[in-house]
């Protein structure tokens, strides 16, 4: 009996060993599962295209197609690409899911998708076409759970369409098409495909769950009735599936609390398709309250707008889970935003971090976030007849566990997608700046080219995030090249490769107002993209390949010098705020759209603001930002007029006061030039640079911070006061030979005047170097030709 019991215990212990050694079924933020979030999501049938039969259609009076041309991309096999009838250019298969009325017979068919036969467009396609060979970096990313384009490994001449269709392991990428040309059984496009989620769309309000189950995802919704202007249309049961947690144990979107959400009052655009059981199943949600053009709040005046952008938009009151906001920032002289259908706007996107019990780890007290450009269009909502914002992101996105693919993405694919969208887990900020088509088309083109390079990894198959190459650095590169493109073309010229050939003759020159807006925009952005007045060599090289048609290989420099040359676009928060602030200073209005983890019912998540370097250490982060702005100001900040004026006032005043009080001699005595130069170098380092770094660079807010003169005044008083008090303290602690002089009221008066002038020079110009120059000249001239060294240790007045 004892033997049987012992054997039973042994077997039971062995039975526990596999479960103890096997990986957990749900990951955590600190112990993620060793598979991609994309693979985990595909365990649910609601993440797979075959769950939505094309033969099933929702009610035509309640639903509309999400786009006129829409379909699922399918990567051709190597055999299909090499076939005798296969085109010898970049192409993929597309299974059309939506088409115009005169092409309904194409719906459900597998057709070839190719680029339009346009020389300029074909040249750009060839520029980003490359062979793909995986290396160690690709294998390393795949092993850690990132999605890599494994089906493209070993293929030759992979163009942007193939890199898009093959970006994920399965053929599940849905796109809308623009500039479509029908050629037999081919579909040719003049513009890059745009990723989108769901082929059908409706406008609804959630009323509650259809039953007590939390897992079947069935909800009661009420459709919008255009005649009444209210949500009193037909009632329907739809499905909002609860998808599996990602590799970190978080659900990308938890629908709990949808009916109680602040956003539910104005309803949601739902996008999806009927499942095999006939129930309409949402694949994406878009909050109508956010995408209504009319802002909920307005802030007038340049200084108030800068404060709203730089301090208020990510402050704790604006980071409440489940909330959203829409705020217009109107600088001095800017008219209120009056959005009309057809208007277009540049979009600057920024997202923050995931906090709370299930939040993501923060490295080095820095929440990097993510940056992207994009575009917002005002269109007429087919359900309500009212204007709405249609948002598109130009995502330059590195390989990631979620299967987010670089390229243009509709809001439904990036923000509201239930599988990959960030609406439910991250705080968003989208800044909209009304602009004409010239700028927007140029930025879209350059961002698409860089996105294609990210998908192919310039032949390596993967894109890595580094200090020199990242979402924000390469978005800045796309913007800089776009500005060069506009300068080459001149105002009023559109980028032909992004305009349908039949429509090119309809392009009209830009108005005088638009040319002026473009000029101010170019100045504002160039100041930030080239903080030293010099452009990164790889950006220049790549612009020549794109704009001049030169042949060669794209470059992505990792040199520290190039990181320094583009340091203002090093982190997303800094780039977003700096660019937006420059646009406000240039007189351009903008509208901020903010969301915080909608619908916000998950108590284990909290929105976290993106930060600058060391931003979660309040004092350290502020000081790092001040030093960077002070030492590397935009070129225009270091204007010469104000420093010269201050020097012209300060020098005679300081001389008069010093001679009146007997502190300075009435004659000059110049030392030999070698000694003057030697001592000039020493005084430049200390006290000029060292003291200015401390008392001006660290203590004073930089002009880019957007403070008013009244707000800066107390800081100047504090800086000057501490600068004066510093000298008696130095005489007592580490510079005893200057104690008598540093206690002398006459000397302290000179310190007060010098500190005030240096503070004004810095606060006006934004460049610490002018303050250093004034300080250096004052100290050097006082020590040498004005014989100040005689007073260090001897307070007796000099001979008159």
Domain ranges of the chain: 25-50+198-289, 67-133+144-195, 293-499+514-616, 635-791
**So what's the pLDDT on residue 510?**
58
- pLDDT (tens digit per residue) in 27-50: 999 999 999 999 999 999 999 999
Cα–Cα distance measured from residue 191 to residue 180, given in angstroms and rounded to the nearest whole number = 8
pLDDT, position 795: 45
- The residue count of the chain comes to 800
Asked whether 568 and 575 are in contact (CB, 8 A), the reply is yes
- Which pLDDT score, from 0 to 100, does residue 10 have? 32
Q: What percent of the chain has pLDDT over 90?
A: 83
Task: Give me the pLDDT at residue 499, please.
Answer: 38
With a pLDDT cut of 70, the percent of the chain lying above it is: 92
Find the range with the poorest average confidence among 103-112, 351-360, 618-627, 691-700: 618-627
Question: What pLDDT score was predicted for residue 218?
Answer: 98
Query: H or E stretch including 305?
Result: helix 302-307
Q: Are 377 and 444 in contact (CB under 8 A)?
A: no
Whether 407 contacts 173, CB under 8 Å: no
Using the Cα atoms of residue 59, residue 61, residue 63 and residue 69 in order, give the sign of their dihedral: positive
Q: Please, which pLDDT band fits residue 800 given cuts at 50, 70 and 90?
A: very low
Q: What is the residue-wise DSSP string for 243-272?
A: PPP-TTS--S---TTGGGSGGGGG-EEEEE
Confidence of residue 232 (pLDDT cuts 50, 70, 90): very high
Q: How far apart are CA 195 and CA 218, in angstroms?
A: 26
pLDDT band for position 169 (cuts 50, 70, 90): very high
pLDDT digits (tens, 9 = 90+) for 267-297: 999 999 999 999 999 999 999 999 999 999 9
- The residue-averaged pLDDT of 166-182 equals 98
Work out the average pLDDT over 311-330.
97
The full DSSP string for 620-662 is HHHHHHHHHHHHS--GGGS-SHHHHHHHHHHHHHHHHHHHHTT
Measured in whole angstroms, the distance separating CA 651 from the mean position of its chain's CA atoms is 46
Q: Compute how many other C-beta atoms are within 10 angstroms of the C-beta atom of residue 55.
A: 7
- The yes-or-no verdict on residue 496 having pLDDT over 60 is no
Structure tokens given for 293: 């053009």
In whole angstroms, what is the distance from residue 546 CA to residue 124 CA? 7
> What confidence tier does 525 reach under pLDDT thresholds 50, 70, 90?
confident
Nearest to 192 by CA among 463, 488, 445: 445
On the question of pLDDT at 11 being above 70, the answer is no
Strand intervals (E) in 8-102: 64-65, 70-74, 91-98
pLDDT of residue 799 exceeding 70, the answer is no
**β-pairing, 407-410 with 427-434?**
unpaired
672's enclosing H/E stretch is none
Taking each helix axis from N to C terminus, what angle separates 537-547 and 471-489, rounded to the nearest 10 degrees? Answer: 50
Q: How many CB atoms lie within 10 A of CB 170?
A: 15
Across the range 571-586, mean pLDDT stands at: 93
Is the pLDDT confidence value at 506 over 50?
no
Given a cut of 60, whether residue 674 has pLDDT beyond it is yes
pLDDT given at position 24: 55
From first CA to last CA, the distance across the chain in angstroms is: 117
* 3-state percent helix, strand, coil for the chain, nearest multiple of 5: 40, 20, 40
């Amino acid at each position: 009996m004892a033997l049987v019991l012992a054997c039973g215990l042994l077997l039971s212990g062995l039975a526990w060993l596999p479960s103890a050694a096997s990986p957990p079924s749900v990951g955590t933020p600190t112990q993620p599962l060793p598979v991609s979030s994309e693979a985990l999501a595909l365990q649910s049938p609601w993440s797979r295209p075959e769950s939505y039969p094309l033969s099933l259609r929702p009610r035509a009076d309640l639903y509309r197609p999400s786009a006129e041309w829409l379909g699922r991309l399918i990567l051709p096999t190597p055999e299909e690409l090499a076939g005798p009838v296969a085109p010898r250019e970049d192409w993929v298969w597309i299974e059309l899911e939506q088409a115009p009325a005169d092409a309904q017979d194409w719906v459900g068919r597998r057709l070839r998708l190719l680029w339009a036969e346009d020389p300029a467009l074909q040249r750009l396609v060839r520029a980003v076409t490359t062979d793909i060979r995986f290396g160690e970096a690709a294998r390393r990313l795949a092993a850690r759970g990132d999605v890599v384009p494994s089906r493209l490994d070993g293929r030759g001449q992979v163009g942007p369409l193939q890199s898009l269709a093959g970006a994920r392991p399965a053929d599940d990428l849905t796109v809308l098409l623009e500039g479509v040309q029908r050629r037999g059984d081919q579909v040719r496009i003049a513009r890059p495909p745009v990723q989108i989620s769901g082929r059908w769309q409706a406008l609804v309000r959630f009323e509650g769950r259809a039953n007590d189950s939390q897992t079947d995802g069935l909800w009661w919704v009420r459709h919008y009735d255009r005649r009444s202007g209210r949500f009193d249309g037909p009632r329907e049961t739809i499905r909002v599936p609860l998808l599996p947690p990602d590799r970190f144990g978080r659900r990308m979107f938890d629908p709990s609390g949808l009916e109680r959400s602040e956003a539910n009052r104005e309803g949601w655009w739902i996008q999806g398709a009927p499942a095999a059981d006939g129930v309409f199943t949402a694949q994406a949600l878009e909050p109508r309250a956010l995408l209504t053009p009319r802002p909920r709040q307005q802030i007038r005046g340049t200084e108030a707008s800068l404060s709203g952008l730089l301090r208020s938009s990510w402050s704790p009151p604006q980071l409440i889970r489940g909330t959203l906001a829409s705020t217009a920032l109107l600088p001095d002289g800017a008219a209120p935003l009056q959005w009309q259908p057809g208007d277009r706007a540049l979009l600057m996107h920024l997202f923050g971090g995931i906090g709370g019990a299930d939040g993501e780890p923060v490295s080095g007290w820095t929440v990097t976030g993510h940056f992207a450009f994009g575009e917002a269009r005002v269109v007429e909502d087919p359900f309500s007849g009212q204007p709405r914002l249609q948002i598109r992101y130009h995502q330059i996105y590195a390989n990631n566990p979620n299967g987010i693919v670089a390229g243009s993405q509709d809001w439904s694919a990036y923000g509201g997608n239930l599988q990959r969208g960030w609406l439910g887990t991250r705080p968003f900020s989208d800044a909209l700046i009304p602009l004409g088509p010239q700028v927007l088309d140029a930025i879209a083109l350059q961002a698409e080219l860089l996105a294609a390079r990210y998908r192919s990894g310039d032949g390596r198959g993967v894109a890595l995030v580094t200090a020199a190459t990242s979402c924000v650095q390469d978005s800045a590169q796309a913007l800089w090249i776009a500005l060069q493109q506009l300068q080459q073309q001149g105002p009023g010229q559109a980028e032909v490769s992004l305009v349908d050939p039949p429509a090119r003759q309809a392009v009209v020159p830009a108005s005088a107002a638009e040319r002026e807006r473009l000029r101010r925009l170019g100045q504002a952005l160039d100041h930030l993209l080239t903080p030293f007045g010099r452009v990164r060599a790889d950006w220049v090289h790549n612009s020549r390949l794109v704009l001049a048609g030169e042949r060669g290989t794209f470059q992505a420099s990792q040199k520290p010098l190039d990181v320094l040359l583009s340091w203002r676009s090093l982190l997303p928060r800094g780039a977003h705020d700096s660019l937006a602030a420059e646009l406000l200073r240039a007189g351009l209005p903008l509208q901020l759209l903010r969301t915080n983890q909608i619908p916000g019912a998950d108590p284990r998540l909290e929105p976290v603001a993106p930060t600058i370097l060391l931003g979660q250490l309040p004092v350290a982060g502020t000081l790092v930002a001040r030093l960077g702005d002070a030492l590397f100001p935009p070129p225009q900040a270091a204007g010469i007029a104000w420093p010269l004026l201050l020097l012209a006032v300060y020098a005679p005043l300081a001389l008069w006061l010093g001679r009146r009080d007997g502190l300075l001699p009435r004659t000059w005595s110049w030392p030999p030039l070698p000694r003057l130069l030697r001592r000039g170098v020493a005084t430049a380092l200390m006290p000029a640079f060292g003291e200015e770094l401390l008392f001006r660079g660290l203590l004073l807010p930089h002009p880019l911070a957007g403070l008013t003169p009244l707000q800066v005044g107390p800081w100047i008083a504090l800086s000057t006061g501490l600068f004066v008090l510093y000298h008696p303290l130095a005489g007592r602690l580490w510079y005893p030979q200057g104690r008598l002089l540093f206690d002398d009221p006459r000397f302290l008066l000179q310190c007060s005047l010098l500190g005030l002038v240096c503070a004004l020079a810095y606060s006006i110009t934004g460049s610490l170097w002018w303050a250093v120059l004034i300080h250096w000249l004052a100290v050097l001239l006082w020590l040498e030709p004005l014989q100040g060294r005689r007073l260090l240790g001897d307070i007796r007045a000099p001979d008159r």
